[in-house]
Every structure is written in C-alpha cells, then in structure tokens.
Amino acid sequence: MHRPPAKDVPILALAVLGVGTSGPLIAATRAAPLAIAVWRNALGAAVLTPFALLRHREELRGLRRTEWITALLAGLMLGLHFATWTPSLSMTSVASATAFVATQPMFAAFIARLRGEHVAARAWLGIVVAFLGVIVLSGVDLHLSQRAFVGDLSALCAAVFAAIYMTLGARVRQTVSLTSYTSICYSTASLTLVALALITRQSLLGFDGSAWLKICALTAGAQLLGHTLFNRVLKTTSPTVVSVVILLEVPIAALIALFWLHQVPSIWALPGALLILAGLVAISTAGQARGAAEHGAEGADAAFEAAASSGAHHAALIPTDG
C-alpha cells in the first residue's frame, strides 16, 4: 500500500468519521428501527434522484432489462441489509454490531468463489482469522445475554446481504453511472423497507424533533458525505488504502458509543474484535492486490466506487459500513 497524498488525508479522516457515526446515531435514535432505515434511504434517494433525472435521463431511459433487474435486486439486498443491521443496534452493543457487519468481505469472498473466481490464499487465511473472531465475540455476547447474541446474528445477516449487494452493484456499475445506480438502489431499498415496516407494524412517523435530527445527521454523514468523499479520493489514493481506512469505522463507532452512549464493551470482547479486524485487513489487501494486478487500477477503482455507493461501505472483497 502506498501512502495517500497529503491533501487526501483530511478527506479520508472526515469520510471515516462520517461512516463511524452510523452505529451510535442509530442506537441513540428513539424511533422504530425500520423507520430509521426507511428514512435514511428515502432522504438519500430524495437528494440523488433529481440529479439523476436532470443529468442522466437518457441513460435511465436506455437501461437494458438486465441492468434494471440487477439494479433492483441490488436495492432489494440493500433494503434487507438495513432491515437486519438497524435492529441489531438495539439488541447488542454498537461495538459488536459494527464489528459483525464489517465481516462483509468474508462473505464476498465466498460469493466470488461460488462464481468461479480465484480467491487468494491470503484472503482465505483472513477469513479463518475473522471467523475465529466472530466465534469469540459472539460467545462473549451470548454469555452476557441471549438478546445480545441475537443482535450479533442479525448484524452478521446484514453482512451477508451487504456482500450480495456489493456483488450485484459491481456488475451494474460496469455500464451504469454512479448517480443513476444509487438513485435506483436507494429508492428500491426504501420501498422494501416500507413494505417490511407495514408487515411488522412499525410506525414510520410520530418521532420527536431529536429523532428527526439524528436521522438527518445519519443521512448526511454516513449515507451521503462519508461515501461521497471516499469516491472522491479514489482518483488519487489506492483502493487498498481506502478499504483499510474504512475498517477504522469499527473502533471509531465503539469510541463514540463509549463517550456518548456510555456503552462500555467487555474486556473479553476485545480479542474477538481484534481478530475480526486483522482478518478483514488480510482479506481486503489480498483482494485489492490481486484486483490491481489482473484488472488494473482503473478496474479496481470502478468496482470500489460501485460498492462505496452504499452506504458503505469497494471491490468485491472491500468492507462496507452499516
């Protein structure tokens, strides 16, 4: 990995801080979990869709059937990602939920292998290390409470949906612009979440002003600002560097939760979280090294840009945020 240009360092810092606020803001918002997920996606779509209609109208009209289907499926997976990630933060700690949802590269590697793609030995080693971390951390949370363990499983499911979303998104972004793609994704995710909220009878309205402020901050910080800045620095900074920087979301979220929400993680959870992070670093750097060697920097950047449009947090093996 090469050191990023000096002008990109503060941008990276601001971006990772933006995505790092996601977990604590969700945990602090007094609203139904699915309502939080609905509004962060709906507000994101409301910001991006007008630009897509004004600047990419012809592109949207000319999208092929397969592009529409893949983009809509990606949006469905994004909606399911938020439907499992957001509730997890009300059941387990921010530190644990963020660590588990960050395991997305682990599942992306399995998907890549199922599709017949080569996965480097270093990535498999990282998967083993990260999986051991999952076992340790989930065991600690199960010892604390069954509810925390269920929250861990929910965040782990969110990581699976994120991996599928990233894989589909990388395919669409080969031919579809970022603005058009994210507009479709955020809109589809919003409709998916609205349907789930109606089925589970979770109210989408009736919050106080404080809850709406937190939802707006979540949309501006994690949904729009963080990933937009990550896309910005990809022109001059290696995707490998960006992928590893994004992993800093885990300790940042844990620290914010510690000082703001007074969530003190168990000392026994630390080894598990460290194993997960170490494994994810190995997976991310192995995937980027191979991607750069086989496809060139331009291909790796394009794949990362597709994944970074989530909300979070990439090429097929690069992690996303919640």
pTM: 0.85
| Average pLDDT, integer, range 69-92 | 96
The pLDDT of residue 227 is: 73
Torsion angle (degrees, nearest 10) of CA 101, 103, 109, 110: -70
Encoding tokens for residue 62? 């000319």
Q: What is the pLDDT of residues 129-166, one digit of tens each?
A: 999 999 999 999 998 899 999 999 999 999 999 999 98
Euclidean distance between CA atoms 72 and 264, whole angstroms: 39
CA distance 77 to 154: 14
- Chain length of the chain: 322
pLDDT value, residue 126:
92
**The pLDDT of residue 166:** 85
pLDDT for 253 beyond 90: yes
Q: Are the C-beta atoms of 119 and 113 separated by less than 8 Å?
A: yes
Is 268:138 a contact under the CB 8 Å cutoff?
no
What is the pLDDT at residue 315?
A: 36
Q: What are phi and psi of 228, to 5 degrees?
A: -65, -45
When pLDDT is averaged across residues 175-192 and rounded to a whole number, the result is: 93
pLDDT of residue 173: 83
Q: Is 295's pLDDT higher than 60? A: no
Question: Residue 314 has what pLDDT?
Answer: 37
As a whole number of angstroms, the distance between CA 183 and CA 75 comes to 9
User: 261 and 94 in contact (C-beta within 8 Å)?
Assistant: yes
Closest CA to 123 of 317, 322, 321: 317
pLDDT tens, position by position, 125-136: 999 999 999 999
Tokens of 175: 């031919």
pLDDT value at position 287?
Answer: 54
30 pLDDT more than 80: yes
In the chain, where the domains are located: 17-308
pLDDT of 2 reads: 65
Kindly report which listed range (55-64, 125-134, 218-227) carries the lowest average pLDDT score.
218-227
Whether 297 has a pLDDT exceeding 90, the answer reads: no
- Distance in angstroms (rounded) separating the CA atoms of residues 137 and 268: 8
Query: Long-range CB contacts (< 8 A, 24+ apart) of 43-48?
Result: 43/215, 43/216, 43/219, 43/223, 44/182, 44/186, 44/219, 44/223, 44/224, 44/311, 45/183, 45/186, 45/187, 45/190, 47/219, 47/224, 48/179, 48/182, 48/183, 48/186
* Sign of the torsion angle spanned by Cα atoms 188, 193, 199, 204: negative
Q: Coil, strand, or helix at residue 286? A: helix
Whether 19 and 227 have beta carbons less than 8 Å apart is answered as yes
Whole-angstrom Cα distance, residue 53 to residue 184? 11
Tokens encoding 55:
């600047």
> Where do the H-state alpha helices sit in the chain?
9-20, 22-28, 33-55, 57-61, 65-88, 94-101, 104-114, 121-144, 146-172, 178-200, 209-218, 227-233, 239-246, 249-260, 269-308
pLDDT at 121 over 80: yes
Residue 74, pLDDT > 60, answer yes
Task: Report which residue type is found at 69.
Answer: I
